[in-house]
Structure formats: C-alpha cells, structure tokens
C-alpha cells in the first residue's frame, strides 16, 4: 500500500477506486475478511514485552520501599558492628518486607490497569462505512484498505483515507501537524506531497465541519499517525489530585517518622545506650509511623470504583475523575438527549402568522422544503443523521412523501453551522429551484423580506415579525423545540456556479427569504430526570440548564425537570445575547442570585459560564456532545460527554462518558464518586489508628527504663499483614444511604484533616496503645518483673508479654474496622455480611491473634509466647472497649449536630 499512498493524492476519485480495488458501493464481506487477514487490524498499539518487568521494577522506586531497603542496610551495618545481636535477621526481614510491599503494589497496579482496560470495552470506537451499498457501523479496528468511510462533523478519523466526496468538509490536523488552523478538504486531485495534500484525511485527526466520503488506503501503524506512534515513547499517566494529596500525606508522615527516629536515636546515644539498641529503636519509630500498604490500596479503591461506575452507565477515562465527580457542586446540563429522550417527533406544522395547522398537502410541501436543508442516509438500522433531520424525513414519509425521489432532487446541502444556528440546501420542487434555510427563528430574521400568510404573503416588517414571534413563543411555551423554515425561488443560473466553498455560496444566497412556517418538535423529558434533579438538590448540588433552544422552550423543560420552580421569575433565566454583554464578575453575581437556565447560548458561552462558576470556588461538571463543546468540557473540573449521540471529539475531551446519555446516570456517578472518597477516608482512618499503639511503646522505651513492647517485625505484621484485607474491604463498602443527603465537600478539603488525625492518633490510637500496654505490663508484673529491670529478648516472660500486646492490637483493630464503616452509625448491621472482605479481614485478625500466642511456628517468627486464656479474654474485651468508646463519641457528635440544626 505504501507505493500507492505516494501517488494516491494525485489521482481523480474514479481512479482511486480502481487503484484500491474497491467501488463506490464499498467492499463485500469476503473482501474484508481477506484484507483483514493480510493487513491486520487497524490498531496503533505497539506490543511491549518488557512492560510488566518495568512495572515491577518501578515499585522499588516507591518512597516506602526505598525507606525499608535503607533501613535493612542500616541493620546489616549494625550486625557488622555487633554480630551477637542478630541484626542481620532484622535486616533480611526488612528487605523481605520491602520485596513484599513492592510485589503487593505491583499486583494492585496491575489490577488497576486491567480494570481500566476492561472499561474501554464498554464503549469501543465505532465508525460508519459503506459496505455492499449499505451504511454500517463497525469497530474502528475492523477497517481495512478499500473501505469507504462516511465522515461527519465531530468524527475522529481512524485511518488514512483519500477524499472522494466533500461537502464543506473541514478537519483539524493539529494531532498530526501541530498546527491549530483548520484545513478544508476537497475531492479533486492534488499535486502536493501526501502530508500536505488537501484531499487526504489522516488518522488521529477530527472533522470539525461538513461531511464527506473517503477511501481508506492505510491502517494501523502504516498510517502517518501510526508511524509517529511507533517512534514515540510511552506516555505516563499523570497522577490524580487525590493521588498527589495522598502521596503528600505519606511524605509528611515519613518525614515526621524519620525526624522522630533520628531525634530519639541521638537522644539514646547521648544517654549512653548501646548503638544497636538505638538503631533498633530508630527503625521501629520509622516503620511504626509509615503506613506502607496505604498507597496501593488507594489506587485499587479508585479502580474498583471506576468499574462500579461503569455498571451504572458512567464510563471514567481516568482514575482522578472518580473522586472529582464526587466533589461536584454544579452540573451544567444540556437539554436534548440528556434531560430529554432525544426521541424527536414533529407534532406541529403551523403557519407563521395565524398559528394554525397546515392542511396535509401544505404540510407535505413544507416538509419537502425542509428536507432540502436536512442530511439523512440509509443505514442498516434505518435512517441515520441528525435526530431533527431524521424526524423531518420520517414525518414526510408518514404523509406519503417519496423520500428516495425527493432526495434525488436535492442539488446541494449546506451543513448545519453551530455559530449561524442554521442549515440550508438547494432543491428542485414543483418544477422550480428553491434555496431553503432551516434553523433558529432569530438567526433567519435578518435575511427575511416576507412572511407567508393564508391571506397572501406579507412584508417582514416589525409588526409582522412580532406576530410571528408570538406564534413561536406559544409553541415554545408548550415545551416544543421550534424550527423556522424560510425559502426563496432561485433565478435561472443562480447557485449553479462552483464557489470557493460551501460557506461562500451560502452567504451569497441567504437573502430575500420568505418565512414559510414553524416546525414544532416534541422531545419528551426522561421519566427519571425530576427524581434525579431533586436528589441533586438534596445533596446540595446546583443544576443549570444550558441550551441553544428558545427561552420559552428551555423554561418549560426546566420546570418539568424541577430545575426551576413553577412560579414565573425572569431573574432565573438568561439568554445568550444577555450573557454576551456581561463580564465574568457580573455573571458570577447573577449566578449567586439564582440564575439557573441559559437559552439561545453558543458553545463558546459555555466556557464563560464555567469560568464564572470556577471563580466562585465551585467544582463544575459540564455535559456536551458536539465539536464546539470540547473546550468547555476540558475547562470544566469534570467534562461529561454523551456516549450515544456525542461526537468523537467531545468524548476525547471529556473525563467521563455517559453510556446511556442520561442525566440520572450523572447523579448515580456522583453518589459513587462520593462513596469512593468516603471509603478512602475510612481506610486511611483505619490504618492510622494502628500507628498509635505502634509508636507509643517506643516512646516509653526511650523515656523510661521499661522493655520494648513491640519489635519491628511485629509492627510490619500489622501494617503489611493483618491491616491489608480490612483496608481493601473498607475501600469497597457500598454507598451510605446518607451520602446524597449531605452537601459536597469544599474544593480545598483534604484527606489528612486535623479531626481525622486527632481521632486516629489521640483517641482510638491512644486507646489501643493504653489497653495493649496495660496487658503487656500486667503479664510482666504477674511474672515477677520489676520497674527498671532489663529482660533478655529470649526471656519467656518477655515473649509472652510482647505476644499479648500484639494480639490485643490485632483484636482491637476488629472493633476499629466495624466502627469505620459509618461516620455516625455503629457499623453493626446486616449489610456487614454483604462485604465478604470485611468478614475475611475479621477472620484473619482473629486467627492471627490466636496464632501469635499459641502457634509455635508463628511464635518463633514473631518472638512471642503464650499467656493464660483469662488474659487472652481480656484482650478480646479490647474490641468492646474501642468499639463502644467510638460509638459513644458518634452519639455525642450526632446529638450535638441535631441541637445545632434545631437552634
């Protein structure tokens, strides 16, 4: 194909078909299979055999892992200085933990990547091609050379193709060339180089206007884009804000740990303690302060949350979008297809002055003219194209119109222009040639000279136009989308010459138009939208409606959806023309005063609304489906594109894709996003609690003449052993029924807040530390130990005391785990049995607490010994102590909140 590609731009369209052994009707099934076998799938993925190994090696650059390896090296040095203290065993243990931590992080990252790959399968990129005379939608990977691509506004081009038909076709080649200026494509031959030719559509680029057809000549890595992909390096995913925040939290904790460890190491040296003792102490402080298993659990929680969102028809393209959606304060929603069903039906065809319905024959004539400004195609699913154009064609057919014959009479179609808010066409009708414009009434007024009336055409003066506007407002007030239709008969030869482009010809013809009628289109409100909007209001989330429709239409839909109250208040609605005149500060003021609906807006004005909301410190979610919506989707904190009706450009710009284009799915996604963030707080809180009883023994050891209650291996058995499964379990807790009854969190609200630190370290952590140390000293004193007496590491009494301290912490973490399930409820309810990981986590902690004391192999590893069962039962009482104390705190806070509400 490469030799053909070098000259394909120089050939006329008919020669292109011959060269690629295809035809205007497209390829047949057998030809596709043969070419797919020889050329391969249309994919830009480059196999990377070392990816898995590199991913595993990267885990050893993790901040925690480096710290553990350095600690192990210090232990080896200490062993060289004092071989009799077996510091090499601790060094190998720390090194093994570093390896285990790296392996665990690798497994979690691998699962997260697999989860994101699974999400891609929810919405494969589909393209339209003509095969065997029929337009079909196929996955982009199944395109082969010779396929006939159907290009439309907003499409992402998936293969290099030679244009054979073009109607106002304009593409953005910036992904390939880096130049932002759009390129107009034509179907004629070009003598330029391939990459500079104006008749080639390149893979990776997008259609920003017009339509056309093109024959594919290169796919996959053979395309110009594929060659660049082959040469480029792997692009790393940027860490999400929450990941950065968590990493920052961990760095802070580690700096504190290292500082404490070093400070007390120096204190020990100055007070004459042996070097190896101070090194052990320093290692213990560092390891006790660092939550080694937190970061990989966090990543997995986000990945699992993204999969749960996908099951609710919310596809997230990046992990940071999961928690970002949960923080949303304002949803800026489109109307068509999001709040409504996008099932357009023409219900009214009215005369513009009398406001009465046309007779069937008059309706047929009006729709025939409207067809000239519509673009519809036959596909395997029936008619395809813009939903409005399809509605025109369906109503025309229902009235007895011959669609196939009428389409043959259309000479030229001018694609819908978002900025002009209209489309147009030229057709022969009743032996005469007509130029027809279809679009917003306000957009057509400047080019009108007359208005059709049953009593005879009238001049388009102010009085006549006001009467027409009154008819339109009456239709819009019923919630109908109203389209105006205007036309004029063309003089002989007019519009037949070839202009530079379609836009130029359209500008020349748009004059002296006659307003022929109004078309009223009904698009029913989705049944679930009012409930979803009410749920947003309960959750403290504002909903704005931003639409290009008439103000009365927007107002009627907004009232039905519950966005606006039933009583009329002009201050709650703003038009695009009014919005244009306001500064950002003035717009922010109007938004703070309650403006909720924006009508007759352009995609560019969405950017202005987003900027104003952000200036008000709001987290903004913006929906969109068109090419021109892409900047607003990128500017918003959370860009949400439509999966069904959205363009490829919009989907690429957005962080989230709605698989069902349904507003209610956004609300479900917000609930899931809030749940993910709350779950991360839960397991962060849970993990930090165990740091308290791990740190306290070392502080007592350095300040008082008492034995050390926990060694480093025992601390690691908690942090990277028994705490891991419960952390994962809390990360997968289902949504709390109260989640959507609370306002969204503030933009600057972090994860490691002062209340969380106090609750973790100074309340529950201190409680665990005091109870476990209490039993530790109880065992020691019961066995005859006296204050200030030193004990050998192998002393059975010392081993038993250490065993009960560790066992107590493990058991008390059960009470901590159950209590972390809810912020204000006990956590003990039937739903606990639905989370199997919680049950498994509890089982692991119970078994491990028993094995610590009574299983010889575990005793040898952890340097622990048995205690009487009566003392072991006291350790079990720690579960009730920590759970009960935390529950009393919850009841107190709940009562205080209720009193505050009552006051």
Which of 381-390, 699-708, 872-881 comes out lowest in average pLDDT? 381-390
User: Would residue 105 count as lying in a domain?
Assistant: no
Mean pLDDT is highest, among 80-94, 269-283, 774-788, 823-837, for 774-788
| pLDDT for residue 236 | 43
Q: Lowest-confidence range among 294-298, 565-569, 679-683?
A: 294-298
CATH code, domain carrying 186: 2.70.150.10
699 and 770 both lie in a single domain: yes
- Lowest mean pLDDT across 61-75, 240-254, 619-633, 671-685: 240-254
108 occurs within a structural domain: no
Residue 874's CB is within 10 A of a number of other CB atoms, namely 17
Share of the chain above pLDDT 90, in %: 38
Q: Are 649 and 156 in contact (CB under 8 A)?
A: yes
* Residue 252 forms part of a structural domain: no
Q: In this predicted model, which residue has the larger pLDDT, 290 or 311?
A: 311
pLDDT at 737: 81
Contact 425, 488 (CB under 8 A): no
| Domain shared by 447 and 385, yes or no | yes
Number of domain units in the chain: 4
CA-CA distance, 759 to 886, in Å (whole number)?
9
Band of the pLDDT at 181, cuts 50, 70, 90?
A: low
Residues 513 and 531 in one domain: no
Parallel/antiparallel/unpaired status of strands 422-429 and 410-417: antiparallel
Under DSSP, is residue 27 helix (H, G, I), strand (E, B) or coil? strand
CA distance readout (Å), 792 to 277, 591, 707, 743, 796: 13, 72, 9, 57, 9
- C-beta of residue 776 within 8 angstroms of C-beta of residue 709: yes
Question: Are residues 369 and 491 part of one domain?
Answer: yes
d(CA 5, CA 98): 54
Is residue 273, in this structure, part of any structural domain at all?
no
Kindly state whether residues 391 and 476 are assigned to the same domain: yes
> pLDDT tens, 123-154?
567 899 999 888 898 988 899 999 999 998 77
Q: Give the pLDDT score at 295.
A: 64
Which tens digits make up the pLDDT trace of 586-642? 999 999 999 999 998 887 788 899 999 999 989 899 988 766 677 888 888 888 988
Q: What residues contact residue 271 under an 8 Å CB cut-off, 6+ apart?
A: none
The position carrying tokens 């673009």 is 375
132, part of any domain: yes
**Residue 803 sits in which domain range?**
291-301+677-902
Distance between CA 832 and CA 463 in Å, rounded? 71
Length of the chain: 903
Say yes or no: 633 and 722 in one domain: no
> What is the mean pLDDT of the segment spanning 877-896?
95
Confirm whether 80 is domain-assigned. no
CATH number of the domain that residue 889 is part of = 1.20.1110.10
- Quick check: 184 pLDDT over 80? yes
- No. of helices (H) and no. of strands (E), the chain: 34, 25
Q: Can you give the CATH number for the domain in which 453 is found? A: 3.40.1110.10
In a domain, 537, yes or no: yes
Using the 3D structure, point to which of 193, 217, 234 is the last residue of a domain: 234
Question: Cα–Cα distances in Å, from 422 out to 56, 373, 852?
Answer: 56, 9, 77
Q: Rounded to an integer, what distance in angstroms lies between the CA atom of residue 330 and that of residue 339? A: 16
In a domain, 879, yes or no: yes
Q: Are residues 411 and 383 in the same domain?
A: yes
Three-class DSSP labels, 644-713 = CCCCHHHHHHCCEEECCCCHHHHHHHHHHHHHHHHHHHHHHHHHHHHHHHHHHHHHHHHHCCCCCCCCHH
Nearest to 203 by CA among 151, 132, 135: 151
* Look-up of token digits 């194909």: 1
Q: Which of 110-124, 235-249, 542-556, 669-683 has the lowest mean pLDDT?
A: 235-249
From CA 191, how far away is CA 189, in angstroms rounded?
7
Please tell me the distance from the alpha carbon of residue 711 to that of residue 700, in angstroms, as a whole number: 13
Which of residues 634, 661, 688 is at a domain's end? Answer: 661
- 722 and 773: one domain? yes
The better pLDDT of the pair 180, 198 is held by: 198
Whether residue 525 is predicted with pLDDT greater than 80 in this model: the reply is: yes
Q: Average the pLDDT over 191-214 and give the result.
A: 86
Same structural domain, 19 and 144: yes
Same domain, yes or no: 389 and 503: yes
Higher pLDDT, 272 or 718: 718
CB distance 744 to 796 below 8 Å: no
Average confidence (pLDDT) over 391-410: 90
Q: What percent of the chain is modeled with pLDDT above 70?
A: 88
Determine the Cα angle at 420 with ends 202 and 333, to 5°.
80
The overall pTM is greater than 0.85: no
- The CA distance from 169 to 151, in Å, is 9
Question: Pick from 595, 628, 661: which residue ends a domain?
Answer: 661
The CATH number of residue 634's host domain is 3.40.50.1000
SS3 content of the chain, % helix, strand, coil (to 5): 55, 15, 30
What pLDDT is recorded for position 46? Answer: 63
Q: Is 411 exposed, middle or buried (0-12, 13-18, 19+ CB in 10 A)?
A: middle
Residues 883, 837, single domain; the answer is yes
What tokens does 352 get?
């513009």
504 and 641 co-located in one domain: no
Structure tokens at 216: 């594919």
Report the C-alpha gap between 7 and 195 in whole angstroms.
11
């Amino acid at each position: 194909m490469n030799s053909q590609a070098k000259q394909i731009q120089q050939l006329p369209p008919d020669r292109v078909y011959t060269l690629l052994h295809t035809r205007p009707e497209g390829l047949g099934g057998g030809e596709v299979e043969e070419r797919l076998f020889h050329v391969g799938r249309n994919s830009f993925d480059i196999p990377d055999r070392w990816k898995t190994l590199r991913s595993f090696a990267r885990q050893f650059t993790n901040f925690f892992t480096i710290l553990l390896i350095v600690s192990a090296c210090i232990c080896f040095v200490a062993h060289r200085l004092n071989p009799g203290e077996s510091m090499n065993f601790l060094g190998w243990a720390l090194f093994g933990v570093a390896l285990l931590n790296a392996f665990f992080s690798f497994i979690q990252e691998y699962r997260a990547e697999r989860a994101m790959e699974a999400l891609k399968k929810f919405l494969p990129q589909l393209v339209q091609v003509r095969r065997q005379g029929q337009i079909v939608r196929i996955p982009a990977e199944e395109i082969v050379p010779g396929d006939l691509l159907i290009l439309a506004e907003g499409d992402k081009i998936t293969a290099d193709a030679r244009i054979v038909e073009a109607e106002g076709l304009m593409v953005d080649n910036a992904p390939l060339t880096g130049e932002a200026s759009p390129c107009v494509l034509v179907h004629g031959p070009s003598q330029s180089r391939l990459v500079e030719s104006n008749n080639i559509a390149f893979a990776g680029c997008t259609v920003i206007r017009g339509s056309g057809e093109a024959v594919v000549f290169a796919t996959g890595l053979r395309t110009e884009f594929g060659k660049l992909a082959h040469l480029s390096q792997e692009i790393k995913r940027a860490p999400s804000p929450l990941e950065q925040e968590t990493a920052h939290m961990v760095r802070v904790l580690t700096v504190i740990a290292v500082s404490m460890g070093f400070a007390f190491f120096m204190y020990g040296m100055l007070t004459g303690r042996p070097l190896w003792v101070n090194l052990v102490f320093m290692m213990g402080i560092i390891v006790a302060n660092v939550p080694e298993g937190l970061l990989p659990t966090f990543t997995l929680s986000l990945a699992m949350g993204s999969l749960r969102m996908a099951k609710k028809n919310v596809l997230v393209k990046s992990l940071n979008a999961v928690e970002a959606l949960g923080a949303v304060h304002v949803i800026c929603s489109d109307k068509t297809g999001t709040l409504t069903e996008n099932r357009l039906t023409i219900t009214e065809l009215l005369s513009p002055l009398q406001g009465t319905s046309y007779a069937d024959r008059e309706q047929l004539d009006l729709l025939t003219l409207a067809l000239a400004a519509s673009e519809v195609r036959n596909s395997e699913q029936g008619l395809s194209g813009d939903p409005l154009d399809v509605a025109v064609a369906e109503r025309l057919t229902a009235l007895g119109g011959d669609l196939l014959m009428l389409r043959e009479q259309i000479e030229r179609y001018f694609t819908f222009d978002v900025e002009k808010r209209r489309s147009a066409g030229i057709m022969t009708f009743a032996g005469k040639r007509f130029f027809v414009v279809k679009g917003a009434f306000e957009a057509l007024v400047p080019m009108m000279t007359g208005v059709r009336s049953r009593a005879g055409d009238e001049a388009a003066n102010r009085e006549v136009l006001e009467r027409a506007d009154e008819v339109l407002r009456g239709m819009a007030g019923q919630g109908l989308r109203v389209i105006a239709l205007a036309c004029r008969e063309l003089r002989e030869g007019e519009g037949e010459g070839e202009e530079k482009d379609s836009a130029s010809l359209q500008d020349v013809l748009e004059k002296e138009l006659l307003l022929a009628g109004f078309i009223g289109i009904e698009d029913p409100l989705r049944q679930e939208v009012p409930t979803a909007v009410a749920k947003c209001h309960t959750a403290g989330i504002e909903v704005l409606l931003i639409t290009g429709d008439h103000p009365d239409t927007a107002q009627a839909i907004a009232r039905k959806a519950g966005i606006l109250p039933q009583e009329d208040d002009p201050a709650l609605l703003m038009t695009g023309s009014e919005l244009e005149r306001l500064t950002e500060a003035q717009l922010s003021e109007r938004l703070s005063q309650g403006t909720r609906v924006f009508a007759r807006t352009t995609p560019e004005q969405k950017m202005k609304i987003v900027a104003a909301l952000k200036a008000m410190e709001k987290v903004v979610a913006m929906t969109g489906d068109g090419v021109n919506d892409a900047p607003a989707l990128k500017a918003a904190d959370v860009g949400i594109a439509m999966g069904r009706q959205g363009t490829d450009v919009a989907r690429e710009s957005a962080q989230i894709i709605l698989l069902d284009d349904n507003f209610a799915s956004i609300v479900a996604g917000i609930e899931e996003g809030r749940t993910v963030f709350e779950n991360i707080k839960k397991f962060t809180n849970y993990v930090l609690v165990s740091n308290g009883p791990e740190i306290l023994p070392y502080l007592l050891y350095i300040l008082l003449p008492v034995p050390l209650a926990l060694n480093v291996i025992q601390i690691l058995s908690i942090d990277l052993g028994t705490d891991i499964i419960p952390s994962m379990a809390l990360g997968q807790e289902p949504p709390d029924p109260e989640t959507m009854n609370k306002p969204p969190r503030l933009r600057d609200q972090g994860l490691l807040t002062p209340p969380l630190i106090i609750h973790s370290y100074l309340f529950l952590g201190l409680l665990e530390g005091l109870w476990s140390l209490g039993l530790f000293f109880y065992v020691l004193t019961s066995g005859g130990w006296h204050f200030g007496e030193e004990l050998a590491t192998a002393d059975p009494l010392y081993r038993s005391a250490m065993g009960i301290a560790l066992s107590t912490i493990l058991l008390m973490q059960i009470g901590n785990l159950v209590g972390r399930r809810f912020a204000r409820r006990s956590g003990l309810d039937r739903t606990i049995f639905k989370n199997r990981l919680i049950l498994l986590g509890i089982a692991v902690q119970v078994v491990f607490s028993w094995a610590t004391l009574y299983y010889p192999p575990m005793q040898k590893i952890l340097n622990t010994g048995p205690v009487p069962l009566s003392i072991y039962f006291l350790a079990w009482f720690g579960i009730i102590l920590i759970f009960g104390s935390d529950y009393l705190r919850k009841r107190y806070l709940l009562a205080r909140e209720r009193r505050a509400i009552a006051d």
